[in-house]
Structure 1
Amino acid sequence: MTATDTHAAPQATTDAETITVLRILLSVAVFVAGWATSVALWGVPGLYIPALALVPVAWGMLIVISRG
């Protein structure tokens, strides 16, 4: 490695990081599957009512993000 080399060596991911990523992906997959099931059971209202219910959640997340 030379003094002008700015590339850092890649860091290995830990088991805890991998487990966290898998939990997030599983949560998203379960949420999407639940939403798809509601559309299959109730049709169009099953599509837009969960989206309407998530509006306050998205609004709250925007406030949290903007507050830093």
Structure 2
Amino acid sequence: MPSDTSIPQPLEAPLPKVLNSKLAFTFFLVIAAIVLWGLSFATWGVPGLYLPAVAAVPVIFALLLLITRG
């Protein structure tokens, strides 16, 4: 009869360096935003498609002002 009473730990495989990079995080974030936008279109129809663009207008306007001011 074994006398080992320790709790077995789950095996942890090391992630590849690509999955730990900022590029992969940015890629997954962009894909998630596109999927959420698609789900809003599927849920609410055409308003779900164009309202995020309308909401982005002040942000883009501010970025254009920052660019032109130098």
Give the Cα separation in 1 of the matches to 2:38 and 2:67: 28
Give the Cα separation in 1 of the matches to 2:21 and 2:64: 26
1:38-57, aligned counterparts within 5 Å? 38-57=40-59
- Higher-Rg structure is 2
Query: 1:66: Cα distance to partner?
Result: 4.3
> Which ranges of structure 2 fall in alignment gaps of 5 or more residues?
1-16
2:24 maps to 22
Give the Cα separation in 2 of the matches to 1:36 and 1:57: 21
Question: What is the DSSP-based 3-state SS (H/G/I as helix, E as strand, rest coil) of the residue aligned with 2:21?
Answer: helix
Query: 1:55: Cα distance to partner?
Result: 1.0
Instruction: Quote the sequence identity (%).
Output: 40
- What's the TM-score, normalizing by structure 1? 0.63
> Which ranges of structure 1 fall in alignment gaps of 5 or more residues?
1-14
Give the Cα separation in 1 of the matches to 2:24 and 2:68: 27
Match of 1:33 among 27, 35, 57: 35
Q: Would you say how many aligned residue pairs link Structure 1 and Structure 2?
A: 53
Give the Cα separation in 2 of the matches to 1:23 and 1:61: 23
